[in-house]
Amino acid sequence: MGESAIGVIRVSGPDAIAVVAPLLRSPVPLPAFASHALRRVGIVDAKSGELLDEALCAVMHAPRSYTGEDVVELSCHGSPALLRMVTQRIVAGGARLAAPGEFTRRAFVNGRIDLARAEAVALMIGARTERAVALAARALAGGFADRVRAVRDALVDVIAGLEVELDFPEERIGHDRDGAATAVARLRADVDRWAAAARHGRVVHDGITVALVGPPNAGKSSLLNALLGQDRAIVSPVPGTTRDVVEGTIAVAGVPVRLLDTAGLDAPRDAIEAEGIRRSRLAIEESDLLLLVLDTSVAPDRRVLAETAGRALILVRAKSDLPSHPDAAALVDAVEVSTRSERGVELLLERLARDVEERAAAAGDEGGIVASLRQLELIGALAEALASSVEALRGEVPLEAALVDLRQSLQLTGEILGVDVADDVLGHIFARFCLGK
């Protein structure tokens, strides 16, 4: 905890009011507080009666609270020492410290939110750009959960109709196989669109990693500083100055872009430089895109060009304020940059933005989805199960076999929403939340 103007202590559970009440000095006793209203109170030591702080207190009676339980919130002054004292006295009165994500887990268990919205809380907390916030807010409002619920309802209808058809084939009151296959095919198309939107949403949320690579003294560190707008990396005319990976982050097209400045790719002169080059190659492997930086005043390094061939990259001709080497003209589709005159830096950012927008589908945010990695895996599995269902319904397999795939699809929608999910999975999901949420 750091110093702040206000520090909020939240207590949730059936005994929340009884635990906090002895610590408050107020003309109105805490159990008589109106729900969802702020009152000014004194916070005192329950044993000595000594005043610790003057604060604002709100009571939210169950089930109209975030967790669905009785909740008491104290807005104290934001001294870490004071907050620690008040928290210790609440714990001494019978409460315990919450585990990471426990408030949101209780909201899920008590039916206040489904699991898709619960995971959206974590995505909102971790959002680093305005686009990521907008996508997380849509998921938190239930947009993604509503889509899953609609597919789940449609699957229940199809499965019920086919089971009636299976039990009473002569009555013709259930779904026929062709009609069911058409309906499931439409559902699969919807889920395929989710999968694409969710992959784009993960790019918006997680961002992309871009490595600046090239031979020594090509201008990579100067370019990193120019892109970041600050002197992050040491710049020197001495080749091999950069020995370790230096990184910084910028926002491009509403997406976090992690920039990695790497050691020059060359024959190492000592063990330290060899380690730097090894780390450069690791950075290349973990990056989504390369900025291949070559000094326009010297002949292009063919070894570096060969090593980066086949990778997604933007070619950068650095030091374009210097006379160009004749062989540099062969570097087609390259962005010419001079960090001294700042020429070409904006053009490079525009080129980078086009690549980012393609990966993050900037034009498609209206239907965008941001999903957790767990949800992304389940969406993929759901698309496969629906595809198998369509194939079975349109094939010669028995109807009972087709219903197996359909029931698997139904189970997967339940796992996304948290209708059917194991406790160990819940523990893994909420363990990644921050304390107090």
pLDDT for position 415: 92
CA dihedral 125, 212, 346, 131 (to 10 degrees): -20
**Which residues in the chain land under pLDDT 50?**
173-174, 363
CATH class of domain segment(s) 119-203+372-431: mainly alpha
- Cβ proximity of 116 and 375 under 8 Å: yes
The CATH number given to 207-363 is: 3.40.50.300
| CATH architecture, domain defined by 4-97 | 2-Layer Sandwich (3.30)
Amino acid identity at 208: I
The pairing of strands 313-318 and 289-295 is parallel
Comma-separated ranges of CATH 1.20.120.430 domains in the chain: 119-203+372-431
Comma-separated ranges of CATH 3.40.50.300 domains in the chain: 207-363
Residues with Cβ < 8 Å from 271, sequence gap 6 or more?
none
pLDDT for position 173: 47
pLDDT for position 408: 94
pLDDT for position 110: 93
pLDDT for position 232: 63
